[in-house]
Structure 1
């Protein structure tokens, strides 16, 4: 939604706010307040006149939301639809069903925001579009771990769309506003529902009666038609969720999560918490020598380290390994984790240095840009060195989920450093949102490229080149790895795919909306090329043990 609410017209807000609320809102926004709310003061002084009202105590920054207008019926119906769809569709796992559930939830948020006169702004569309794009990851990938990252990041992006944060507090604290609405949102909906029931009792009862009659007719005739035709029964079974009594508590929890979560998001869209009003006090500027001397020393250390890295790169690793007594893999593994930590600490140093940098004179600002810009440039060389170390380690031992994850984090940290350098040139007003957008884009790209598929592809290529393959690790990958593992020769192929096929067989009863594209593609490949019978047990254990010899 928008970052600043626009002024609604009278038709949009008819009867929506009491007069007391409007006066309170005017007082907070800095417009004229009632005269009796301001204590009288002596002319030319700040002390109140004796006998007058006491001075008002100093107020903290007002970040709390206003009271929202009464909830609209469209918001209530959309929230109820979200709860019902969550209960019916999400019980078997996440895939395309989460996109279906997101449609009425988005509608509820939009209607609630428009009720308060808020209109979507460009950045709100970026966050909302990014969140919906992240929800395509469960529909495409069978692996659970990129799906988890995508869903969590989608919730964070949705929070930014609701609040419209521009500053660091607005970007970082936005999700807290949604969590607080988990209590106020249902209360807001219940109040609006009671008002409608009191005023529209004569129309509500016929509507409920019609819904009950329609449900009974569909149930009776659907059961008769399913018993009369097997093809229709199969179609009905594929379309209608299989809800049993045993999973009733789980379904009730899903319904409550969808309903209350949507109401919380809708109330946040109507009256968001103003996190952008939180002001972080600036740091105390240090003297030029006190500020610059430690950083100049750190820059010199970075320069020496990067020079050594270039010498090693052009001189070859053999001489370094001979002097250190390390193996190729040990040198790469040890270096990567230290360089990753160095990158994180560099970002921390930059943040602290910016808070304490002198800012009074033009020469001071030039010095800040020069020193920190040089430090950022040298930090990028460290990032490149860390990426090269991980590549060396993967060449020695293969690619794993941990290695591809930390490598992705290192690349994202490098992008953050580039954004900081750009902010030093063009200003930092856009930096918080740019960093958050880069995180959303990074998680989206990570999920879309199929990390399990990349792991299998890299390890199969390594097997084709060296004859070494980590079979026990490959057996634990998801169905996304099947297209790459299918290239292996028998019996290695069947041994690598045996556990994946068993898991797919256990999930054959899962409906289409809870089945990802990666899972469907893996099932198609295994149906076209069945595994070798008996390719499990001691024979596969022997193949797996060869990797560790």
Structure 2
């Protein structure tokens, strides 16, 4: 294991002329980035500020890494597309759930992209080991060089106090100290001699009162954290340095590769497949009847969906894990056994896909009875994602050259982008209103909890036959109209909210006290 001295590293990097200039420039850029983050985000609702800040971060990153980073036509270059598309969702939509999810997704993608672009990854991006590089980008890089800026500033100050200059600075400080008591005496005399001068003098403390320490201190800390962490992260991608530790694999380490015997694998797969085939035969006895809602008499729709859905999803995830383990860890001895295991694994995939379809139908039935929500729609999307992943897994079973992690990662990023831009709020509102027209049932309170993207669709309920539904909707839209007209800062500008404001401006809305159920505190 190689010892590493942080103090020595800081000294070496700050003393090197080229590195010193680059670090000074990066420090200035990240300080400006911190000020920009403070202006954009402190006490501000996310909006157009998110894509602007992402653009600013990449400007700082590319400006300071131009000699080692180039936007290339490879995975690292293409990753900038989902990064900027996800950041634009804060401008286009107003979905709070995806706002929260994207606050995690965007940094992960940025760390992935910058690590690859700077060539600091130890593993290929389509390798599972690359997850470790991304993890390092979160827990190590933002903090590895936090003290380097202070070292640079201290060196600047020491240089400024060098021989020939220190005596002059000391004399200036001495003059200031002597002048302070004289200024107090002279100003007091002048204030007594002139009332106008005294008036202006008395207003000086008001200038200091403008500085709100309750706001200033948190803002200063926020700016400093953003600036220092950004500096440390980018500098860790620039500086060539030795690793903190060098790990060597123990000689007696045990590898999981080829650790599962073929007979054991075939036995496990055979037992599972027998159970799943029997289960599917029972499913088919009423699965197609489910499309016409022909369920067993002792079961209601809700019981049918609730009693089976979660279990089927868990079984699907278990099968997913089993398949991955068998694909990568089973020995390759006999061609006959290899082909047998391939057939059994394919049968397991087929059974799992049918169970996914069954779970999909159960959730559909549940939605028909109780309406559409975020969780239910996202569950549908998750099952579709699993279906696609199983198809790739099936391809890998018959073609060992298929890199599963690569296709899993690309599919996950694509699916996340699609679900962000699907505008689920609009779909949920539309489908629930259509269901209301068919069944006369609707949960307007839930629809009122959706984002502003749903407001254009909600206006359709103003003409609902049920007076309670139309009145409650009008009350909600009336209050929302007032809130949207109050406006927000430009940093929080959002196209979805602006479109809702313009739509509501065309309606003459009134508040009905009889249906006073709107809770403005929710928004």
Task: Give the TM-score category using the shorter length.
Answer: 0.7 to 0.9
For the pair 1:262 / 2:230, whether they are aligned, the reply is: yes
Aligned ranges 1:233-382 → 2 under 5 Å: 246-270=214-238, 281-283=255-257, 285-316=259-290, 321-323=295-297, 325-382=298-355
- Asked whether the 8 Å contact 1:115–1:270 carries over to 2, the reply is no
Question: Structure 1 pair 16/81, CA: closer, same or farther in 2 (3 Å)?
Answer: same
Q: Secondary structure of the residue that 2:299 maps to in structure 1?
A: coil
- Asked whether the 8 Å contact 1:163–1:274 carries over to 2, the reply is no
- Show the counterpart of 2:78: 126
Question: Structure 1 pair 338/161, CA: closer, same or farther in 2 (3 Å)?
Answer: same
Q: Secondary structure of the residue that 1:486 maps to in structure 2?
A: helix
* TM-superposed deviation, 1:284: 5.0
- Asked whether the 8 Å contact 2:481–2:504 carries over to 1, the reply is no
CA distance in 2, matches of 1:299, 1:70: 65
- Show the counterpart of 2:136: 176
Question: Structure 1 pair 185/367, CA: closer, same or farther in 2 (3 Å)?
Answer: farther
- Once the two structures are superposed, what CA deviation does each residue of 1:433-456 show, in whole Å capped at 9, x if it has no partner? 332222222222222112222211
CA distance in 1, matches of 2:248, 2:126: 11
Q: Secondary structure of the residue that 1:267 maps to in structure 2?
A: helix
Question: Structure 1 pair 352/255, CA: closer, same or farther in 2 (3 Å)?
Answer: same
CA distance in 2, matches of 1:540, 1:153: 33
Q: Secondary structure of the residue that 1:321 maps to in structure 2?
A: coil
* TM-superposed deviation, 1:415: 2.0
Match of 1:537 among 503, 515, 518: 515
Match of 1:447 among 420, 442, 456: 420
CA distance in 2, matches of 1:113, 1:274: 23
- Asked whether the 8 Å contact 2:126–2:403 carries over to 1, the reply is yes
CA distance in 2, matches of 1:200, 1:132: 43
Whichever of the two has the greater Rg, that structure is: 2
CA distance in 1, matches of 2:379, 2:56: 36
* TM-superposed deviation, 1:249: 4.4
For the pair 1:78 / 2:29, whether they are aligned, the reply is: yes
* TM-superposed deviation, 1:343: 1.4
Q: Secondary structure of the residue that 2:462 maps to in structure 1?
A: coil
- Once the two structures are superposed, what CA deviation does each residue of 1:277-317 show, in whole Å capped at 9, x if it has no partner? 99993245333221111112212222233333333233456
- Asked whether the 8 Å contact 1:76–1:108 carries over to 2, the reply is no
CA distance in 2, matches of 1:518, 1:293: 56
Question: Structure 1 pair 383/480, CA: closer, same or farther in 2 (3 Å)?
Answer: same
- Asked whether the 8 Å contact 1:83–1:255 carries over to 2, the reply is yes
- Asked whether the 8 Å contact 2:474–2:510 carries over to 1, the reply is no
CA distance in 2, matches of 1:399, 1:511: 33
Unmatched segments (≥5 aa) in structure 1? 1-14, 20-67, 203-242, 542-549
Unmatched segments (≥5 aa) in structure 2? 1-11, 117-124, 163-210
Count of aligned residue pairs for this structure pair: 438
* TM-superposed deviation, 1:460: 0.8
* TM-superposed deviation, 1:88: 0.6
Q: Secondary structure of the residue that 1:322 maps to in structure 2?
A: coil
For the pair 1:524 / 2:476, whether they are aligned, the reply is: no
* TM-superposed deviation, 1:150: 1.8
* TM-superposed deviation, 1:371: 2.2
Residues 284-293 or 96-105, more deviating: 284-293
* TM-superposed deviation, 1:134: 1.1
Match of 1:510 among 488, 492, 499: 488
- Asked whether the 8 Å contact 1:69–1:116 carries over to 2, the reply is no
Q: Secondary structure of the residue that 1:488 maps to in structure 2?
A: helix
CA distance in 1, matches of 2:15, 2:224: 31
Calculate the TM-score normalised by the size of structure 1: 0.70
Match of 2:438 among 451, 465, 473: 465
- Asked whether the 8 Å contact 2:477–2:504 carries over to 1, the reply is no
CA distance in 2, matches of 1:504, 1:77: 43
- Asked whether the 8 Å contact 1:495–1:535 carries over to 2, the reply is no
- Asked whether the 8 Å contact 2:475–2:516 carries over to 1, the reply is no
Question: Structure 1 pair 103/117, CA: closer, same or farther in 2 (3 Å)?
Answer: closer
Calculate the TM-score normalised by the size of structure 2: 0.73
- Asked whether the 8 Å contact 1:150–1:443 carries over to 2, the reply is no
* TM-superposed deviation, 1:110: 2.5
Question: Structure 1 pair 517/271, CA: closer, same or farther in 2 (3 Å)?
Answer: same
* TM-superposed deviation, 1:486: 1.0
Match of 2:397 among 410, 413, 424: 424
Question: Structure 1 pair 191/426, CA: closer, same or farther in 2 (3 Å)?
Answer: farther
CA distance in 2, matches of 1:135, 1:441: 15
- Asked whether the 8 Å contact 2:353–2:390 carries over to 1, the reply is yes
- Show the counterpart of 2:38: 87
